Structure 1
Amino acid sequence: MQTSSLILGIVIGVVIASPFAWFIGRQRSVLLSGKVQSLEERNSALEKANLASNSIDQMLKPVQEALTELKTKSEDADRRRIDAESMLKNEMKTLRERNESLEVATRQIASAMGKGQTRGQYGEMQLEQLLKHAGLLEGTHFQRQDSRAGVDGVARPDVSILLAGGGEVLIDAKFPWDAFFEAMGTNDQAEKAVLLDKHAKDLGKRINELSAKEYQTTSAKSPNFVILFLPFESLLTAALDFDGLLLEKAFGKNVIPATPTTMLGLLRTISFGWSERDLNNNAEEIRNMGAEMLKRLVKLVEHIDTMRSGLSKAVDGYNSFVSSFDRQAVSQAKRLAQKGVPTTKQIEAPEEVSTGLSKSRFSGENGRLELEGLED
């Protein structure tokens, strides 16, 4: 009875619980279906977003490549800029060092040029180069610092150039410098004009000093002038800009200002005179040497003719021998062969030499070597 009641209770419980279980299952099924649909929708949205992202990536890819290339070029440009800045710094440093060295050298030159003796030595160096270009030799065509008695004691021109016909041209190489150098170093036009005017006056003063020394009177055959050598063309042109009569004044005082251009022309003219003198002095020696050479040629022709005569006699002797050999030996050998005497090679007489020899003759009238044909 109790068992039946228990079974009945279970059945009733199942019947009563089944609707609830179905309802709960239904609710869970609906809920799960909604979640699945939501997940599918989210998945679809993600797939669409992924496709859109890929499309954007494809669209942005050229931009990214361009940005990458731009970045590479920018980095390369920075690297080259850094290298260029480094090189520029080194060049600026080198330029600064050279400029400092140049300033030191300029100050040294300016200081050295401030001494008259040094200026004279520099002028002599420039003049020596011109003398070499003109082909003049020291000791033969010119002398340096040749002392002689002057108006105020011992006169010593810087260079004495000897002339081919006798006499000499005297040159002084000391020149004014200070005012000219200062003028070239200033940018103030007014100051430059004042300094160049002073330079013109200094050059005029130097001309007067040189004229007072009267170097030309110390040589018996010297032309009545002395040359003032100016190693820079601008030393004279700058002075002439402020004193147009400077040359006329110098010529009146028997002083000839000469720059490298005019000096080289004068020196080459003097060198040409020496060349002509040497040619004239050597003309007799050249004639004697020519006569001796012709004498030797005549003797040589005599020896050649003697050789020709000997060779002609040798040819005549050879031909006589060949003719006799042919008559005396070859003909007899041929007769022996005809009689049956065995021989390994037929004997033939050598051919005679028929080449004619020429006789040489030297003509003193036209200085030609002539050949006269001889038929032997």
Structure 2
Amino acid sequence: MNELDPLLMVALAAGLLALAFLGWALLERRRAGAAEAKAWTLREQFIEAETRMRLIEDQAATQAELLRAQAAQSAGAVAEELLKRTDETFRNREQLAQQRLEAQLKPVAETLAKFEAQVQAVEKTRAEETGGLKAQIAQLMEASTATQAEARKLSAALRRGAGVQGRWGEQTLRNVLEAAGLAAQYDFVEQFTLDSEEGRRRPDVKVKMPGGAVFAIDAKCSLNAFLEAQEAPDDASREAALMRHAQSVRGHMQGLSSKTYWDQFSGERSPDFVAMFVPGDGFLAAALDRLPDLMTEAMDKRVLLVTPTTLFALCKAVAYGWRVEEQAANADKIAALGRELYKRMSVMGGHAASVGKALEAAVSRYNQFVGSLETQVLTQARRFEDLKVDHEGKEIPEASPVETAVRPLSKLSTSDAPHLRIAGQDEG
């Protein structure tokens, strides 16, 4: 019995397990049947839904076709309307843009019109000025031609000989002296003769300086070589002619220095130089270019090389000296006139003082007369009024004394007046 209990228990457990398994199998089978039934139901529902979907798709396709047809018709109308509106809008915008463009371009058009008018005026003025300029150029060309002709005539005349050159130089010298303010025969003397131990000298001009001094000017410089240089055919010939011109100027300077004009004017306090007049700055410049030491050599030999420009400055200084001397002479005359005027004013002041004293005495006598009249006569005369004497309405006027005194001439008093001097001199 004890040995059979475990087996029984095993069998019982196995039976129970088999029953449990059988129940689980039945349960699973039931579940599977329910799942299969549910699956068939779902399949039927899916088929039904698929059928509905196909119907819906068919209806949607049909409606889409209908909508497409309707949309095509309405799109055509809408497109036509849009085209009309677009065309109208485009036209309106085009007109508006045209108006705006015209409004913006109107100032530009007005400015362009004004600019065109100004351009036309400028063109007209330019044409007139061009015509005037052409006329002036023509006149200038004529003047230049005339000047060249005159220069050729002058050159031809100067080449005739030393006499023509000398007269031209003398005339040029005279023009410079007169332009500087010097007067002929008063401030300078032309063509005079000096007697010296070496013989008779004849400088062209003697210029008088303030204080009695004089200096001589010579205008006999030869210009033949310079004129030859202007007509030289080549540079070598021109340079050779200019070198001869420089040597000519130098030789004339040395000969002028040997004449020692300053010694011959010793009685007139002449400065120790003589002026050598070259009638053109270009003539002297050409000589100095070839002989740079010519000016220094001339000053060492007491010869002052002058041209119209430098001589004008020198004579201007002389003219200024004459004006200063004249002003000094006038100052002396003014001083003499001042002294005489002072003397006459002193005499007149004495007469005025005498008149004042006479007036003062007359006033004193008048006041004495008024005092005597009031105290001695009028007191007795007014008693007629107390006696009722008919005086026909007339009253005796009162005589007032003169209280204003005569103003003394204190400025003419010799004790109070300052000691006057006129032009630096004692009034005496």
Partner of 2:215: 169
- 1:313-370 Cα distance to aligned partner (Å, 9 max, x none): 32222112111111233323444444555746573222234514536544699646xx
**Structure 1 residues 355, 98: CA separation in 2 closer, same or farther (over 3 Å shift)?**
same
Q: Report the CA distance between 1:162 and its aligned residue.
A: 2.7
Which residue of the partner structure matches residue 94 of structure 1? 136
Give the secondary structure class of the aligned counterpart of 2:313. helix
Matched, 1:268 2:310: no
- Are the structure 2 counterparts of residues 336 and 226 from structure 1 closer, same or farther at C-alpha, using a change threshold of 3 Å? same
Query: Closer, same or farther in 2 for the Cα pair 1:55/1:84, shift >3 Å?
Result: same
Q: Counterparts of 1:185 and 1:75 in 2: how far apart (Å)?
A: 56
Whether the aligned pair in 1 keeps the contact of 2:217 and 2:274 (CA below 8 Å) is: yes
SS at match of 2:295: helix
Q: Which runs of no fewer than 5 residues in structure 2 stay unpaired?
A: 1-83, 159-163, 421-428
Equivalenced residues, count:
319
1:112 alignment counterpart: 154
- Equivalences for 1:292-331 in 2 at 5 Å? 295-331=343-379
Superposed CA deviations along residues 18-46 of structure 1, whole A, max 9, x for unmatched, are: xxxxxxxxxxxxxxxxxxxxxxxxxx9xx
Q: How far, CA to CA, are the matches of 2:209 and 2:291 in structure 1? A: 33
Q: 2:306 is aligned with what amino acid?
A: A
Structure 1 residues 177 and 79, CA gap change in structure 2 (3 angstroms): farther
- What SS does the aligned partner of 1:247 have? helix
Whether the 8 Å CA contact 1:145–1:157 is kept in 2: the answer is yes
Deviations 1:67-115 (A, max 9, x none): 6864674465356325413421331231232132133124414643634
Query: Is 1:84 the equivalent of 2:132?
Result: no
Q: 2:176, 2:312 within 8 Å by CA — same for their partners in 1?
A: no
Q: Note the C-alpha offset of 1:232.
A: 5.5
Structure 1, unmatched stretches of 5+, are 1-43, 369-376
Structure 1 distance, partners of 2:114, 2:250, is 71
Following the alignment from structure 1 to structure 2, what is the Cα–Cα distance between the partners of residues 223 and 194?
37
The one of 113, 117, 121 aligned to 2:171:
121
Deviates most, 166-175 or 269-278: 269-278
Once structures 1 and 2 are overlaid, which stretch shifts more, 318-327 or 93-102?
93-102
Please, which of 227, 239, 253 is the counterpart of residue 207 of structure 1? 253
Secondary structure, aligned partner of 1:358: coil
Separation in 2, partners of 1:185, 1:86? 42
Which residue number in structure 2 is paired with residue 146 of structure 1?
192
SS at match of 2:154: helix
What is the distance in 2 between the residues matched to 1:67 and 1:354?
93
CA RMSD of aligned residues (A): 5.0
Partner of 2:20: none
Which stretch shifts more, 158-167 or 172-181?
A: 172-181
- Taking a change above 3 Å as real, the CA distance of residues 79 and 161 of structure 1, as seen in their structure-2 partners, is closer
Alignment equivalent of 1:103, drawn from 145, 151, 173: 145
Q: Which has the larger radius of gyration?
A: 2
Q: Work out the percentage of aligned pairs sharing the same amino acid.
A: 24
- What is the DSSP-based 3-state SS (H/G/I as helix, E as strand, rest coil) of the residue aligned with 2:363? helix
Give the corresponding residue for 2:298.
Answer: 250
Cα separation, 2, equivalents of 1:336 and 1:306: 44
Are the equivalent residues in 2 in contact too, given 1:142–1:159 (CA < 8 A)? yes
